[in-house]
Structure 1
């Protein structure tokens, strides 16, 4: 018999807020974290706006020593540690001291980590200054740097690993953690994902012309999921973290339970059937959603809200079509649907975890956050769903089941089903 898995801790460093109380207030308010970035303008980027978490020096000093901060220049490591430690503290869990806690683990993914550190290293090595690189180069540039850092801080003795699946990374990490706990191989897993920010991370996307350039003077209008005037995704960064725990453990220590993970599905379109490195195979997306619903043991009609991937590109209408066909719901029967990217941009490999945190807050606190900048709904979307299914203002109402999905470069997909906790 598989264990029931619940969520007992949340942490976040998002472009519109850092920390769960501020983030909950920000998404209810519809607060944008997207701003004009002078360094992108100086480097002649077409898109000169982006989302960077407002991490102050005071916040950093809550999580790092002065020595650590002098050595760190990987923003992804900073964001990941802030979100991960907050989630652990939020769950009310102790830090292991004398020996590792064999029941606690970390699955924390990333896509691009330590790019600034790589740049510094290349210059120093080319100049024959290899001995001046410092002792943290490997930590800041290896994919598992954040999971290793967090595992050491918390003293976890179970699996410590990192996954990397582009935009699906965070949701995939959560599902990997879910499976490990459900199968009895761990009691608690800190899951999440992070991503660096900056021109060396975002430059490739600007070169691909997949980011908007018309809104450099009005950055908060730039991210326009589901809009007819959408012209590309706004780059973002940050980290999200969730503590997943067996229900028995959570009840035994009287932990606060934000919600339950019913199940989910991970797949790939194999870059076949219209799928490619940058475009999803529509059949695989639909199958991922259907299998997630099946594994969760619910009916399509049970879903109250879809927290979509919805990047503000030409693929938004295709995603809506996939949801409609997979759930066999359309028009006024379609669930509510929103996109956090309208407020924070596309946080790349951090997107899934930050958006999962937002979805769990919606579930726990009974609200639906507004989806910004889609007053001019794309006609291909309005032909499928009723316009009032997309909230433009905060909606306060009971939420029982949420479907959350992310679809990433490489034609990879992940969908998870959250439900309000039922004892």
Structure 2
């Protein structure tokens, strides 16, 4: 009888509004320090109600060779830094032979697209450089980072809006489990542009009633929430078979024991509680665990009215009212394609340190949200299994199940 391949995580890398590296991310989250701020470009747009975002601070990327850096957009720079960190933690100075790479983003570089659009309007297309084009390809970060780091295995870039990061982690999990690859980098990246805020504002899905208090603007499950705060960054994991990790003596950070994905077909913008319930139930079935074994549900919960209600109702149906649940969007904002990767890294740290982070700015629970055990203050307790959700506009949903190393 064939023994199923176990898939483990041995490395992680992050670029976030808290700065460069996993340590900066985790210290920022644990401290509850705010990273949201007014966006100058939004102040002059009276029709856009939201005025705040969370962006990556200035980071020195000069260590990246210029021949590689000149073809990289901001989100590719974020991804290079995160990939390098994940590789190093996994024990590699250079990418191992045949390494897979699963990474995407919601959109490519809007900043670069706007620059090229300016050339078009002025009838100066001859000014477009090869490096400009390389920055606006749909798989630009995946391509430029794999070239720079000599990642020569299969490179696959799923783009599933807000579910992108976790979807690519799930694809890597499935690829390792099936023997398609032995090791892989996986996650998502994103760069902020005011267009993100404007588009979600049109859909009435942004936070606008705390513009004067940016760090209180994103309020998952809170009665006074009005929507999300756009953000950016990159979160990547190094995953491999347990056999591979043990053979080379790598430290195992966690095991991915289950994954599921499904699609909402009734509404492009908001998933139903039923679809979300099925996604979580299928992930638990893939993990071969019962709902009561879960120590924490790390919700997608972005702070939108309908989305938070639906997810909480689905969670109650699957886990019952006693499940511990939190969202990290109140800390980080919604980094779109990067959110699944960054938040999964936070889940790894919660497993490692035995701590549950609170949902920032959850002061008064919306009575329409299901009565769950919402984490409101930092809790120190044994944490063995975490379920992680990511749901996307367009109907793409996914759930992963993480377990502490046995």
* TM-score class normalised by the smaller sequence: over 0.9
| Aligned equivalent of 2:62 | 61
Q: Deviations over 1:258-298 (max 9, x none)?
A: 10000110111222xxxx01010322111000000000011
SS of aligned partner of 1:379: coil
| Aligned equivalent of 1:50 | 53
Return the alpha-carbon distance in structure 1 between the equivalents of residues 235 and 309 of structure 2: 27
| Aligned equivalent of 1:34 | 36
SS of aligned partner of 1:7: strand
Relative to the length of structure 1, the TM-score reads 0.91
| Aligned equivalent of 2:192 | 197
Kept in 1: contact 2:197–2:229 (CA 8 A): no
Kept in 2: contact 1:115–1:201 (CA 8 A): no
Q: Choose 22-31 or 259-268, whichever is displaced more.
A: 22-31
Kept in 1: contact 2:162–2:392 (CA 8 A): yes
Residue 162 in structure 1 maps to residue 157 in structure 2: yes
Q: How does 1:215-364 map to 2 (within 5 A)?
A: 215-271=210-266, 276-314=267-305, 315-327=307-319, 329-330=320-321, 334-364=322-352
Deviation at 1:30, TM superposition (A): 1.5
SS of aligned partner of 1:84: helix
Q: How many residues align?
A: 402
Return the alpha-carbon distance in structure 2 between the equivalents of residues 94 and 24 of structure 1: 23
Return the alpha-carbon distance in structure 1 between the equivalents of residues 240 and 58 of structure 2: 28
Q: Deviations over 1:214-245 (max 9, x none)?
A: 21110001000010001111111111101111
Deviation at 1:71, TM superposition (A): 5.7
Deviation at 1:248, TM superposition (A): 0.9
| Aligned equivalent of 2:117 | 122
Kept in 1: contact 2:384–2:403 (CA 8 A): yes
Q: 1:17 to 1:335 in 2, by over 3 A?
A: farther
Q: RMSD of the TM alignment (CA)? A: 1.7
| Aligned equivalent of 2:379 | 395
Deviation at 1:106, TM superposition (A): 0.3
Relative to the length of structure 2, the TM-score reads 0.95
Deviation at 1:394, TM superposition (A): 1.9
Q: Choose 241-250 or 141-150, whichever is displaced more.
A: 141-150
Q: Deviations over 1:165-210 (max 9, x none)?
A: 1111111100100010011111111001011202133321122221
Kept in 2: contact 1:112–1:201 (CA 8 A): no
Which stretches of structure 1, 4 residues or more, deviate above 3 A after TM superposition? 65-72
Return the alpha-carbon distance in structure 1 between the equivalents of residues 251 and 109 of structure 2: 35
Deviation at 1:68, TM superposition (A): 5.3
Instruction: Name stretches of at least 5 consecutive residues in structure 2 with no aligned partner.
Output: none
SS of aligned partner of 1:417: strand
Kept in 2: contact 1:269–1:283 (CA 8 A): no
| Aligned equivalent of 2:397 | 413
Instruction: Name stretches of at least 5 consecutive residues in structure 1 with no aligned partner.
Output: none
Return the alpha-carbon distance in structure 1 between the equivalents of residues 17 and 289 of structure 2: 34
Return the alpha-carbon distance in structure 1 between the equivalents of residues 85 and 120 of structure 2: 36
